[in-house]
Structure 1
């Protein structure tokens, strides 16, 4: 076994001696869900193994654990929320700029504008594999910060564009660097919080992107009503410069603030770090492994859940791609709002983004016994009803309710992100499944703007029908995922029952970098 040591000093803090770690060839042999016997090697284990391996009789004090959790929440959530807000604000700038003179200024046709939204996700799609591999191989925080800083610079470059071609190039490169964001947030969530805590935290950071909608709409409205002062410099260009500066600022803050993994957290003492590691044991996941494991890659490829995540990502993103780029156009053309009122009408959606996911997380915890997939399915079905109102009613108020119901789907997408975080184990498998999910998300966002055909303006009936079908399909996919995970948990429980007294799982198997199928102690969160 390892020779590393952990000692408690007179102040109650733990010190970690990692210089004396001696790696053994094999920790244990386990039986996976599909009946295979797997040898667990220490040199393939998670980076957290060296910190926890020889810790014995270490029990969590609930009161102290709450203090550690508060430290984590206060240190990480505000910055992730800020980055998510910027991410959505930056993507919706097109929707605002489109009714503030962007198309006229760049001599952009309706067809070219449709490709403005899609081109962003081509960059996002093409760079998904390199982005995920870089997040696995390189320090997480530094890689994320580099991407955020690059994204802020490119966002400001939009204001320098003088034609549609240059603008489309900027959109592609913006997509490349924003492709780092969601995978990084999912990895951070799986590192720092317990499974039962992840849905709530994901709902908070995913839902608070609505603040970006409110701030972006407010900035655009302010520029629009005061544009008389910007004759020589179009107001739509100011949007990109302002949002780019905010993004750049947060990128530098992220670089110095977010640790690459919990064992390097500047805001935790040594005892706190051991608490974080011990808490992670319950997740049966670690903090990461830099090796690319082909057996985990193959498992991800043949796992049907991988493709459910892919198609769900697409089903959510088709409406998302449309609303992100055509929301303001729809409000102005179909609903009859003036330009400034159309900009302001984006704000209620941002408010729904903030409040609704958090409310769903609370209800999920207290009423549905933390079964997030049930909550996600119910919310998605509510959005299906909203899309029916948008498609089949003519009264302005009911159509507007249907339009705004789209923002409730933020809670569902947050739930699915947290499901990837908590239900996919094995670092390589998580990277691959995460990539499939985001490739589906990219594909849907590429398709979404193309459903808005100029010949169908201002009602865009085809686009509205596509949104309805997408949310209906998404609901079926979520229910299917619940059934698969429920049956897998039952099968694992049955295997344990059959083995009886022979069943034994090593204490530190949680940090052996096993997949959810390989690890007999792993249970799926429903």
Structure 2
């Protein structure tokens, strides 16, 4: 297809070739473990339907650069807004806790408040696999946007609670619907951007959760500062109502704005859609497959890297769950900041969340040959040092530096999410690995608040020790992933070299919906 298309060629018309026009068996490949795999048309990726449209397509770098800029501007703002909203919703508890919520809901005695954070992740964990199945079976962005609108309604319901029990029920339901968010954006990132582009984009949308911290802390500060006699009911209740309204509005915008795949993008013309398809070939992944594949599900549990993702998710989330729910309490009680100052002290962390991941992604791309696991390991080691400062030093300045070092870990968790997007192929396998990773993440967030025992207040020595241990384990996980992926790439290269001239690249294997272990052309990002 010529790139010098006239204006009529670039009209926003659908591109489509019926899958039953292709051979029932498209090709046969030999996997890394010498297993013969037949690629059937009915099992192929959705992108295979459009393969004839790009058969002779040649990529013009200048045109692709313009297209990439367009994709970034059309998709990243809404993704950023929703991710910001997600963290704002999560950290609302931390702000509300020092704005009178614990007293109003009788949560001042014992460890009742600990379960506020944990309850959210019980809902998240239990519904994580069903949410991934729904995202696979139904239009991805429409399913996500509907979940966002429902979670906004549930968030507003928090304001109507007058005791701990209904509040905890709201937290469980909220977790169930927020569980759609992360797997959706991991899938979307793999669908729209090349592997080399994914870490920066993931750092942007993951890191901009920090804007949610800035906005949430700012709203909470404004409500807390003017709370006396100015509102007909408690300022913490207004906080939940305001954040709920913002969430619902963003869900509506997402429903109409976010396309389910590049092939259905309302803002792309025909030529741009074809470019998107060709760009995805490099990833050895397409647009997804709506059929649940038992073989890919089973492979997920045989792949040792999946358990490493689980352990990393657990290790990152234990400190995360603690900070999200007890961060302001720690600043208020242990560090000695006033209520208003403690709310404001959340803002530097939010700023670090935004700036640092993008900085690390740039350094990684410019100087480390896009080796994400290397940069993530370095950053996680720095966080370990920060946790040592928090645990073992006395001056408030050094302890505060240790406290703020937690926010550096956002760049690492973003890197791990981008590794899942890049290095796990096969739509069912990706959904399963997403689930396992996020179950670990949920378990950690359930455990995290429980490490803050009331009897250890205000210093919470046990919680701080748990944070340090968690980041050490997370660092070991990153090193393990790097070693495994290096070995797998070498094994695939050796197998190809052994075949010599006998090896030929299977036609369109990138769009066969094969797993990373099945596809002989797949190489792991490091």
What range describes the TM-score normalised by the shorter chain of this pair? over 0.9
Aligned to 1:292: 292
> Quick check: 1:248 aligned with 2:245?
no
Q: Quick check: 2:29–2:506 contact (8 Å CA) kept in 1?
A: no
Note the C-alpha offset of 1:229: 3.7
Q: Quick check: 1:288–1:427 contact (8 Å CA) kept in 2?
A: yes
> How many Å separate the matches in 2 of 1:198 and 1:293?
26
Classify the secondary structure of the residue corresponding to 2:523: coil
> How many Å separate the matches in 2 of 1:327 and 1:50?
50
Q: Quick check: 2:19–2:42 contact (8 Å CA) kept in 1?
A: no
Q: Quick check: 2:118–2:446 contact (8 Å CA) kept in 1?
A: yes
Decide which moves more: 226-235 or 207-216. Answer: 226-235
Aligned to 1:39: 38
Q: How does 1:133-148 map to 2 (within 5 A)?
A: 133-148=133-148
Q: TM-score, normalised by structure 2?
A: 0.97
Aligned to 2:410: 410
Two-structure CA RMSD over aligned residues (Å):
1.4
Classify the secondary structure of the residue corresponding to 2:90: helix
1:443-495 CA distance string (max 9 Å, x none)? 00000000000000000000000000000000000000000000000000000
> How many Å separate the matches in 2 of 1:82 and 1:368?
30
In structure 2, relative to structure 1, the CA distance for the partners of 1:110 and 1:347 (3 Å cut) is farther
Q: Quick check: 2:67–2:272 contact (8 Å CA) kept in 1?
A: yes
Q: Quick check: 1:53–1:508 contact (8 Å CA) kept in 2?
A: no
> How many Å separate the matches in 1 of 2:371 and 2:471?
20
Q: How does 1:414-425 map to 2 (within 5 A)?
A: 414-425=414-425
Classify the secondary structure of the residue corresponding to 2:402: helix
Aligned to 2:392: 392
In structure 2, relative to structure 1, the CA distance for the partners of 1:29 and 1:18 (3 Å cut) is closer
Q: Quick check: 1:155–1:241 contact (8 Å CA) kept in 2?
A: yes
- Give the unaligned 5+ runs of structure 1: none
1:269-306 CA distance string (max 9 Å, x none)? 01000000000000000111011111111111010000
Aligned to 2:426: 426
> How many Å separate the matches in 2 of 1:250 and 1:231?
26
Note the C-alpha offset of 1:367: 1.1
Note the C-alpha offset of 1:111: 1.3
> How many Å separate the matches in 2 of 1:53 and 1:190?
22
> How many Å separate the matches in 2 of 1:127 and 1:232?
36
Aligned to 1:478: 478
In structure 2, relative to structure 1, the CA distance for the partners of 1:409 and 1:308 (3 Å cut) is same
Aligned to 2:437: 437
Note the C-alpha offset of 1:174: 0.4
Note the C-alpha offset of 1:228: 1.7
Note the C-alpha offset of 1:10: 3.6
Q: Quick check: 1:52–1:274 contact (8 Å CA) kept in 2?
A: no
Aligned to 1:13: 10
In structure 2, relative to structure 1, the CA distance for the partners of 1:149 and 1:206 (3 Å cut) is same
Classify the secondary structure of the residue corresponding to 2:21: coil
Q: Quick check: 2:285–2:425 contact (8 Å CA) kept in 1?
A: yes
> How many Å separate the matches in 2 of 1:262 and 1:310?
30
Q: TM-score, normalised by structure 1?
A: 0.97
> How many Å separate the matches in 1 of 2:445 and 2:237?
24
> How many Å separate the matches in 2 of 1:264 and 1:254?
15
Aligned to 1:503: 503
Aligned to 1:58: 57
1:136-187 CA distance string (max 9 Å, x none)? 0000011001100000000000000011001000000000000000000101
> Quick check: 1:84 aligned with 2:83?
yes
Q: How does 1:39-438 map to 2 (within 5 A)?
A: 39-53=38-52, 55-108=54-107, 109-438=109-438
What count of residue pairs does the alignment treat as equivalent?
522
1:3-32 CA distance string (max 9 Å, x none)? xx9999643538634358513211111111
> Quick check: 1:525 aligned with 2:525?
yes
